[in-house]
Amino acid sequence: MSATTVTSTLASLNSLVGGLFLLTAFAMVATRQTRGCLQLFIAQSLLLAASAFLLGAEYHTPHLYGVGIVDLISKPILVPWILNRTLTREVYAKREIDQVLNIPTSLLIALAFAVFAYFLTRPLLDAVAPQFRGANVPIGFAALLLGAYTLAVRREAVPMLLGILAMENGAFFVGILLARDLPFIIELAVASDGLIMVFVVGILVRKIQHRLGSTRIGELATLREGSASPPSPLPHDGSIAPERQNPKAV
């Protein structure tokens, strides 16, 4: 095979990966189960790594391999591990997630977001040099918007956190094509920052679980605009008993 056929094979493989990446973003909008959501997020991260490897081979940018490896270690392995350490198993218990909108409506809106992302990125692709043009840009934009949408319609804490992480995946899916010359150290720093974020949010979710007995964020509605805030006295120690039993609650 000549060099050009290899390159074009890599490019079409990357397009396939991009299509699957977008599919996982759609599936995350539609999934009702927390564990399913986590599995889709892991699949999405694997596809992100695959795209980084393919682009690294296509454009001979070795440090994209590094980006791919960092992604492989942090998202499919460390993120679920941290979540398992900070949260109890029952968070993953298979159950329906009550969403604000029903799933067919959600998917239609998600489709509209994807089309919007395509039109939004067309002028951008015209502005960059030809070697930076590719399907990664509209797909990454769409995944970012879908992640934000997941965050907005979900009422469970863990799927909301996964929505935030999916947004970051979307941003990186654009980044590995457009900003592939960014120093590797920065990608490493962003990845470790993401892990700290997962850790702290995990602790927060656990505190909410202790306090409410569930992780349904939708049930938290004491703070409403215009309503009188409850004349709550300063809390005393008796009210935070569950915390004391948990030395791990840093």
H helices within the chain, ranges in order? Answer: 3-30, 34-58, 62-73, 79-86, 103-127, 136-153, 157-178, 184-212, 241-244
Residue selected from 12, 115, 193, 213 as contacting other proteins according to rule CB under 8 A:
193
Query: How far, rounded to the nearest angstrom, does the alpha carbon of residue 100 sit from its chain's CA centroid?
Result: 20
Residue selected from 78, 111, 203, 216 as contacting other proteins according to rule CB under 8 A:
203
For residue 60, is it left (φ>0), alpha (ψ between -120 and 50) or beta? Answer: left
Q: Which is nearer to other proteins, 6 or 100 (CB)?
A: 100
Using rule CB under 8 A, residue 189 touches other proteins: yes
Using rule CB under 8 A, residue 207 touches other proteins: yes
Using rule CB under 8 A, residue 103 touches other proteins: no
Using rule CB under 8 A, residue 200 touches other proteins: yes
| 110 to 149: interface string for other proteins, x by CB under 8 A | ----------x--xx-xxxx--x-------xx--x--xx-
Residues 5-34 that bind other proteins (CB under 8 A): none
**Number of residues lying near other proteins (CB under 8 A):** 66
Which residue type occupies 1? M
- Specify burial of residue 3 (Cβ count, 10 A radius: 0-12, 13-18, 19+): exposed
Report the candidate in 106, 92, 122, 99 with the shortest Cα–Cα distance to residue 25.
Answer: 106
What's the min distance (Å) between Cβ of 240 and other proteins? 5
CB 48, CB 172: distance < 8 Å: yes
Could you tell me which stretch among 1-9, 60-68, 102-110, 192-200 binds other proteins (CB under 8 A)?
192-200
Using rule CB under 8 A, residue 190 touches other proteins: yes
Using rule CB under 8 A, residue 182 touches other proteins: yes
Q: What are phi and psi of 147, to 5 degrees?
A: -60, -45
Report the candidate in 2, 19, 45, 250 with the shortest Cα–Cα distance to residue 134.
Answer: 19
Give the chain's end-to-end CA distance (angstroms, integer).
57
Binding site residues, other proteins, CB under 8 A? 120, 123-124, 126-129, 132, 140-141, 144, 147-148, 151, 157, 160, 164, 167-168, 170-172, 174-175, 178-179, 181-182, 186, 189-190, 193, 196-197, 200-201, 203-204, 207-208, 211-212, 217, 220-223, 225-237, 239-240, 243-244, 247, 250
